[in-house]
Amino acid sequence: MDSKKAFDIIYDLLEANENDNYYIDFTPFTFSNKKYFELEEFLDKHYKKCFSKKVKFIAFSIIYNYKSYIFLDTNSAEPIYPNLMNKDLRNIGLDKLASIIDKMILDNYSALNILFRNGNSISLMRIEDSYDTYIFNLSDKEKVKIKDLIDHQGLFFKKL
């Protein structure tokens, strides 16, 4: 898939207000406490690497289970990987892809988009900076599979 078509699909999925959009979280509930900042600092220091490892497992499971296309987000003013922009990264190797995912999560940098065929539809896993990982446009059947994969990693699959 060429990058123009991929980004048309990505932006359509990001803008759609569908019921089948989810995010991956590290707790089963949402924090509303004003002191959450203290916990967030602790998690960044002690848990973020673990979260990144789990997201990589989920992402790699998706790309090896589904026909997929992977693109770095193009909205960064100064891309850290300029030579990889507008290229499908599906076949760059797991070590390089793991390094890019770590950069997105650990260094709070930009986003990585994984488009994957879901029957006749295309779904999106979007790994943004820090703990923001989203999944868009899942069929009911695929929702069960993806939820099982996320549960397997000890994370939580929540509706947006």
pLDDT the model gives residue 16: 83
Q: Which 3-state string (H, E, C) describes 20-89?
A: CCEEEECCCCCCCCCCHHHHHHHHHHHCHHHHHHHHHHHHHHHHHHCCEEEEECCCCCCCCCHHHCCCCC
pLDDT in tens, 13-56: 998 877 779 999 988 877 777 777 787 788 888 999 999 999 99
pLDDT in tens, 84-138: 999 999 999 999 999 999 998 998 778 999 999 988 899 999 999 888 999 999 9
pLDDT the model gives residue 144: 95
Q: What percent of the chain stands above pLDDT 90?
A: 62
Q: Could you give the CA distance from residue 10 to residue 19 in angstroms, rounded to a whole number? A: 17
CB 39 within 8 A of CB 155: no
Q: Could you give the CA distance from residue 64 to residue 139 in angstroms, rounded to a whole number? A: 18
pLDDT level of residue 78 (50, 70, 90 thresholds): confident
Q: Which helix (H) or strand (E) holds 99?
A: helix 94-106
pLDDT level of residue 76 (50, 70, 90 thresholds): low
CB 87 within 8 A of CB 3: yes
pLDDT the model gives residue 80: 81
